[in-house]
Amino acid sequence: MQIDGIVAIVTGGASGLGRATAERFLRGGARVVLVDLASSAGEAVAADLGQAARFVAADVTNEADMIAAVDAAQQWGGLRATLHCAGRGHTMRVLDREGQPGSLEAFEGVIRTNLIGSFNVLRLSAAAMARNEPLADGDRGVIVMTASVAAYEGQIGQIPYASSKAGIVGMTLVAARDLASKAIRVCTIAPGVFDTPLLARLSEDVRASLGRSVPHPARLGLPDEFALMAQQIVENPMLNGETIRLDGALRMPPR
């Protein structure tokens, strides 16, 4: 599927990996609905990106919010690509320093945003795409979700985050098989350490150390490199049901 002329949704589009993905798709000629929380800078980002971008305030776990976002894309024509970048983390151990159990509420919150939110975006996007006429390559639509290398090598303190991302990895092949009859492809990107606003809060020394932990290239990943991978998934008709690690051969240590 060529991105020129398509309509796409990018969740988490106000910053980080989502914004870079929106920018790349806009440069390629797509029209993009940016989805992010009402408290985000999404409105200003969409205005900055031009008339081919539109912002819809939405919580990815909320059915009505995401229906509104999909409807906004449908107003521009059939939704063809969804790039789901929204997510959150939370540091928590199974037991704290005093031996008390970790917060069930905190664990549930991360699972709700990252895993349940991903399914909500997946199912509502697929319902809209299934109504499209197939393109020349046979696709009706493509959905790209975001996991993490933590799905495979979660570190101490990452139990809610790693669990949620592992759930997305487990969802990917099943969804691709399920939606094959509708000619909708599903893939997931599992990034390593990327230069996002979250890492920008860390000191330069810590950021440099994280970059050196990557075998090659020995640096933090660039958001546009994530966006490039998303574009390549959309454009390559044989990429389906796959979770692609984008990590420079990084394998995370226990801590």
Strand, helix or coil at 20?
Answer: helix
The answer to whether residues 230 and 239 touch, using CB atoms and an 8 Å cutoff, is: no
Crossing angle between the packed helical segments 63-74 and 117-129, to the nearest 10 degrees: 30
Q: How many whole angstroms separate alpha carbon 35 and alpha carbon 85?
A: 10
CB-facing half-sphere around the CA of 236: CA atoms within 13 A: 13
Torsion angles phi and psi, residue 8, rounded to 5:
-130, 150
In sequence order, the β-bridge partners of residue 84 are: 11
- In angstroms, the CA 124 to CA 61 distance is 11
d(CA 145, CA 83): 6
Among candidate residues 161, 168, 230, 246, the one labeled active-site is 161
Check whether the bond before 134 is cis (ω within 30° of 0): no
DSSP code, position 186: E
Distance between CA atoms of 123 and 127, rounded to whole angstroms? Answer: 6
Our answer to whether residue 161 is catalytic in this structure is: yes
Active-site positions read 161
